[in-house]
Structure 1
Amino acid sequence: QKQMRILMRNNGYHDSVYINAAKIFQGIYTRKPKDRAWVRYGDDSLNPTLTFQDEYSQRLSYELAFSALKYQDFLEEILLDSCAYPCYSIPDELTSLLVVMLYDLQDRKFKAREIFDEDKPVEEVQEVEHYLYSFKIKLAAALARYRIKHDALSIRSFLPESLRKQEQRTSALPLFVWINTFKISFQDVFSDLKNKGFTRVESVSDLDHYTYCVDQQCHDVLMFPSSLKEELLNFDLFTDCKLLLQ
């Protein structure tokens, strides 16, 4: 299960994650004045139902949706510049799906998604995926032109400075993790972390690489370096809900 979750992040997501991310994005995307709304997102007056397989899929769906939101202007321009949009074979109601899947596709360097055996195919996802792949070369070229135009090494450079600074501040904060004492004892957590190569330190200022400390006010809360987030979430302590990310 742990290996499958790592693969899910690196090689694309289950169809259901894309569908849920698109529904979330549909409710939060930036509305623009009519004279600037070159990309249409269909009817957003509906309140779509979200169905998640588990907590991990829920987190992935929200992360994907908000990543697409951060880069909405960039993604829309790539679609327009590559002539992948407008697309008369894909209705406006699927534009949100088109955008979130484009974000993931470029994040994977336009590599093919790995299909999982237990994944239930969703027709809309298959349709949009096939369409994006048919424009893969043009989309990659549009991305390259955009980077040259903005003299950017990565798409992160396209973010407004205020948002980049906010991300930097967030990344500097430690991760707060709650010990679920209904499932595991303090000592078992400490022992497990030690076996995984972690060292316990006295304070937040001592956090560095594979270290953690105990919150002085709440003894059932641990703090880790934020750089370890992805790795920690794949530990069995987290997948078994013995440790919970705050």
Structure 2
Amino acid sequence: DLMALAMVMLYDVHDRKFQPREPMTGEGEGLIEDVRLVEESLYRFRTKLVASLARFRIKHNLVCVDDILPKCVKEKHQRKDKLLTCAWVNTLKSSVDEVCMMLKTQGFIQVDPNTHLQGSVFCRDTHCPEVLLFPHQAQEHLEKMTLIRDHTLIIQEKSRSLAVCALRPLLAKNTDILIVGSFSALTAAHVGIQASVFSNHVFVCGLPSDSTHREELQETLSLIGCKNFRLLSEQFSDLSEGDSRLQKVQVVLVLPRCTASALSDPIAHIINEDGDRKLLQDLSQDTVSDTKLESLVQKQIQDLSHALTFPRVRGVVYCTCSVYAEENELVVKRAIKNAAGRTKSQPFR
């Protein structure tokens, strides 16, 4: 079902008046086959689509296509252009201080974190020590810099960096990490860098040897410099506490698909972090059906509950980007209740 993708792409091509977009020339970039198929179809029916949208606007007395969206969705779209650009430092290649110095040589000015960011300035994040913040408009300039192209500085939304930083207090020697759920290769790499401080390994499951996702993950990890990953073909639900490969796993990071309803730019998150693309149509109406929400919650409970069955695990980090209580404290309480009947040598954190 490509309808959700078609809706997003129709808005994009209409926004640029059906003019061709700039070709992708970066390393490893290229169109996904589904994207190419939808794009070709939209251009083939361009005249009919433009006429249909015009009739719809006249019928409903709408000034522009944006007015089709609910007010709250439009407000999110407007906030998106004001969001700060976040980037984390790949400490396998450089230090935060060295990157700050390199940015200054490129014309950027480092300012206090409490300063309003505008122009060629940046600051260090107050929550994540390896994250730097820039004005939204600076991203285009940053993407042309060597720091970005050689993967010393990685642009990524802050929600995932917060999840990775939450792992830090749980890490020590012989503390391997298991990542569960849906996430980008960049998120996995960020976890791997944190684990490498203590020479720990990171396990990622659900990656059959012939899967495209596995190949893409391996390529990104290689570019960033991560060498401490162990990729497993089994799904998380098929892994047991007695698996000999997981005997040193003491921390589980659970990153399940969620409604992304708390984000100002949920579309980017869903696309970049392997989210549920069927949500795109729901989000355009600023509502998620009860059926869809329940299906997401059931998977979240399943993963979180299974993470609590590993007796050596002493810390589970659960990350959601949702405003719904069902995906926040309620899902955690339900998972803990499921695990309450068994004993552990150490309490969970």
TM tier relative to shorter chain: 0.3 to 0.5
Structure 2-normalised TM-score?
A: 0.36
Which of the pair is proportionally richer in helix?
1
Question: Which one has a bigger Cα radius of gyration?
Answer: 2
